[in-house]
Amino acid sequence: MDEPFVIVGGDAAGMSAASKAKREDPELEVIVLERGEWVSYAACGTPYYVKGEIEELSELVAVTPLEFREERDVDLRTQHEVVDVDPDSSTVTVLGEGERYELSYGTLLLSTGARAVEPPFEGMDREGVFTIHSLPEADAIDVFVADTAPETAAIVGGGYVGIEMAEALSARGIDVHLFEMLPHVLDPFGEAVAEAVEAHLAEQDVTLHLDTAVDGFVGRAADGGAQTDGAEEPATDGTVGGVRVAEEVYPADVAIVGVGVDPATELAEDAGIELGPTGAIATDQYGRTNVEDVFAAGDVAEATHVVTGEPVHVPLALTANRAGRAIGQTVTGDPTPVGETAGTAIVKAFDLGAARTGIVDEERAREAGFDPVSVTISAPSRPHYYPGGSKLTVTLLANAESGAVLGGSVVGEEGAKRIDTIATALQGGLTVADLQGTDLAYAPPFSPVWDPVLTAAKVLEGKLA
């Protein structure tokens, strides 16, 4: 291959692909074009930076640009933005260092990621209103909190970003109100997790406003409180002072909007690359798009669900890393599937861990064509007599006819990582009977004889019989 492997976007998927391709074929020219300053960073770590548990944002960078350039021999160009892709001529157009230039590619990887959704709220552009999906956004929140010492925060969105930011801002002494449009927080985790997390958030003095649509943000009144007259312009300055919900205004000295992410598909669409049903780029099992020599991976691309076989958009780090790595292998002559996703996710909510994998609620299972049966059980994470255990609540879903495990959730102070047992069962296509018969590890400091996941399987097996 004479033409280079060109990668657009230098985070998890892009840098994994670059590193793997260079390792497999050191002769291959690999060029990464990243429009920002940062590459290969853990966006998932940003709430803990805001919380104050991580000192420097640079700690979130797994591999520095210098290491990519000097040790891995990747031609990494930060602050170079790709503004056009032309599959007919196999070129991309780049803006960087004040110049506009074209670059030919042999293979192209689009790993442009996703960006935080900016809902059309009134006052989204006020000072003190933030989204958070990148290191600069985390930095801006940290600086704003340090400078203005907010008393009250409004978090809009009860997904994992919202929950993590509630913990982070509470740790900085701020009174947190969390607004969620749906009846529950953490909707993709199912009801058992949501109820446990909601009860725990209340214990931690986070005020929950469920079933509550936010209309927008008002400015600060002259006395420092929130404007309540409904005027569009702030009385004093452009800084946020409150959050408007129907007829009410709650005070808020800072606001975080975390209502999801959208795949950054503009470049792909302009180049005639097909999107899938989720709105992300459609790919085959090798991460190929419909256009020759163009791959897509990470938060901009769809993945295949391990249970349903359907395309899904799961913008999570492991999926991105794995797909990037596989494409790096494929591009260098060893065709490697990008793998499937179970949508496995885990989140820390103060002292609770909450996790999910596969399909966790019956309604979604029916939509996917299954006849679901499910159980939710609570069991101790260690035997009653051993110090330090806590309650774990496990939900497990199966298909009635085949007995196949469809998914589940785990929530508790200790042991949420046990979701991995269920995720591995999904990967292996295990039935509930298989799972119930799995030889999991037992000793009193670690687990009861029947691990809570086994207990759930046992009870679900009884329901299936």
Q: Of 11 and 253, which has the nearer Cβ to a second copy?
A: 11
Neighbour tally for 83: CB within 10 Å: 13
Which of 26, 248, 442, 463 forms a contact with a second copy (CB under 8 A)?
442
Q: Which span sits near a second copy by CB under 8 A: 2-10, 142-150, 342-350, 360-368?
A: 342-350
Q: Which span sits near a second copy by CB under 8 A: 205-213, 286-294, 360-368, 436-444?
A: 436-444
* Residues numbered 56-95 forming contacts with a second copy, rule: CB under 8 A: 59-60
Q: Of 12 and 264, which has the nearer Cβ to a second copy?
A: 12
Q: Of 220 and 325, which has the nearer Cβ to a second copy?
A: 325
Q: By CB under 8 A, is residue 439 in contact with a second copy?
A: yes
| 75-78 vs 30-34, strand pairing mode | parallel
Tokens encoding 203: 């214990």
Tokens encoding 77: 């160009």
Closest CA to 324 of 22, 1, 100: 22
Tokens encoding 181: 């449009």
Which of 38, 68, 160, 217 forms a contact with a second copy (CB under 8 A)?
160
Give Cβ neighbours of residue 120 (< 8 Å, ≥ 6 apart): none
Task: Identify the sign of the CA torsion 165, 166, 172, 177.
Answer: positive
Amino acid occupying residue 74:
V
Q: By CB under 8 A, is residue 420 in contact with a second copy?
A: yes
Contact by Cβ (8 Å): 193, 212? no
Q: By CB under 8 A, is residue 114 in contact with a second copy?
A: no
Q: By CB under 8 A, is residue 350 in contact with a second copy?
A: no
Q: By CB under 8 A, is residue 170 in contact with a second copy?
A: no
Amino acid occupying residue 243:
V
| 372-380 vs 391-399, strand pairing mode | antiparallel
Would you give the binding string for a second copy spanning residues 15-54, x where CB under 8 A is met?
---------------------------x-xx--x----xx
Which of 117, 124, 182, 440 forms a contact with a second copy (CB under 8 A)?
440
Q: By CB under 8 A, is residue 346 in contact with a second copy?
A: yes
Give 251's strand partners. Answer: 242
Q: b vs e for 92-108, b when ≥16 Cβ sit within 10 Å of the residue's Cβ?
A: bebbbeeeeeebebebb
* Residues numbered 371-410 forming contacts with a second copy, rule: CB under 8 A: 383-387
Q: Of 246 and 465, which has the nearer Cβ to a second copy?
A: 465
Q: By CB under 8 A, is residue 347 in contact with a second copy?
A: yes
Cα(185)–Cα(15) distance, integer angstroms: 33
Which of 212, 227, 447, 455 forms a contact with a second copy (CB under 8 A)?
447
Residue 456 falls in which region: left (phi positive, over 0), alpha (psi -120 to 50) or beta: alpha
Cα(65)–Cα(361) distance, integer angstroms: 43
Q: By CB under 8 A, is residue 316 in contact with a second copy?
A: yes
Closest CA to 131 of 310, 274, 258, 306: 258
Q: Of 309 and 384, which has the nearer Cβ to a second copy?
A: 384
Q: By CB under 8 A, is residue 344 in contact with a second copy?
A: yes
Q: Which span sits near a second copy by CB under 8 A: 74-82, 86-94, 128-136, 337-345?
A: 337-345
User: Shortest gap between Cβ of 83 and a second copy (angstroms)?
Assistant: 30
User: Shortest gap between Cβ of 444 and a second copy (angstroms)?
Assistant: 5
Give Cβ neighbours of residue 382 (< 8 Å, ≥ 6 apart): 388, 389, 414, 444, 445, 446, 447, 448
Q: Of 129 and 355, which has the nearer Cβ to a second copy?
A: 355
Q: Of 140 and 317, which has the nearer Cβ to a second copy?
A: 317
Cα(19)–Cα(119) distance, integer angstroms: 36
Q: By CB under 8 A, is residue 330 in contact with a second copy?
A: no
3-state secondary structure of 1: coil
Q: Which span sits near a second copy by CB under 8 A: 248-256, 267-275, 290-298, 449-457?
A: 449-457
Q: By CB under 8 A, is residue 299 in contact with a second copy?
A: no
Element (H, E) at 86: strand 80-86
* Residues numbered 232-291 forming contacts with a second copy, rule: CB under 8 A: none
Residues that are catalytic: 44
